[in-house]
Amino acid sequence: MGKRTRIINDPSELVPLLRIFGSRTNKSVFDVLSTRWMTKKEMDEYLGKDSSNSILLLKKSGLVESQWKIPEPGKKPSMEYHTSYSKVQANFQCSFEDLSDIIMLAFKPYDEVCDAIEELERLVKEGNQSMSSLTRILNKSPLYIRAVARRSQNISVMGQRLKISEEIE
């Protein structure tokens, strides 16, 4: 199967990528799924640890695709995963201040960024989904807000709007 190139035009898309490739477990899951299709159960057995968070992070960042695995007769079907991209091309420009915010958001432990994430989730749940509205309320740049949203497991970035994610799996 030929692989595609992931084109990054928004620097905030680096947040999930840095989180994926900054973790040994996430990187292992990505590497294995680059070579073959696997179910979550097969992945857990292969790695010897739970791969749920890695798969969710890979799905949210758009790096894996999924399909139903045809089971043996009488058994329940299961979802199997495979990576969507083998290359990346970045095409963006931003200030060092914004880049440093992105890198800090990607690598800080959750408890150090949870206040910003929870505040953004609260505002989006209350109906403030417009980027311009959120930048006025939070007094932060749109790039920072998108980066925080990409760090959250509950928010999806949809152009200039944010929304609460539906169940991913």
Q: What is the pLDDT of residue 155?
A: 92
Using 50, 70 and 90 to split pLDDT, how confident is the model at 140? Answer: very high
Please indicate, yes or no, whether the overall pTM of this predicted structure exceeds 0.75. Answer: yes
What strand order describes the sheet that includes 38-39?
A: 38-39, 78-83, 64-69
d(CA 110, CA 106): 9
Q: What is the pLDDT of residue 97?
A: 92
Tens of pLDDT, residues 22-65: 999 999 999 999 999 999 999 999 988 888 889 988 998 889 99
Identify the CA nearest to 30 among candidates 7, 64, 1: 64
The mean per-residue pLDDT over the stretch 141-159 comes to 92
Tens of pLDDT, residues 68-108: 988 888 888 899 999 999 999 999 999 999 999 999 999 99
Alpha-carbon distances of 96 from 26, 104, 150, 164, rounded to whole Å:
27, 12, 19, 29
Q: What is the pLDDT of residue 166?
A: 73
**Residue pair 169/79 in contact by the 8 Å Cβ criterion:** yes
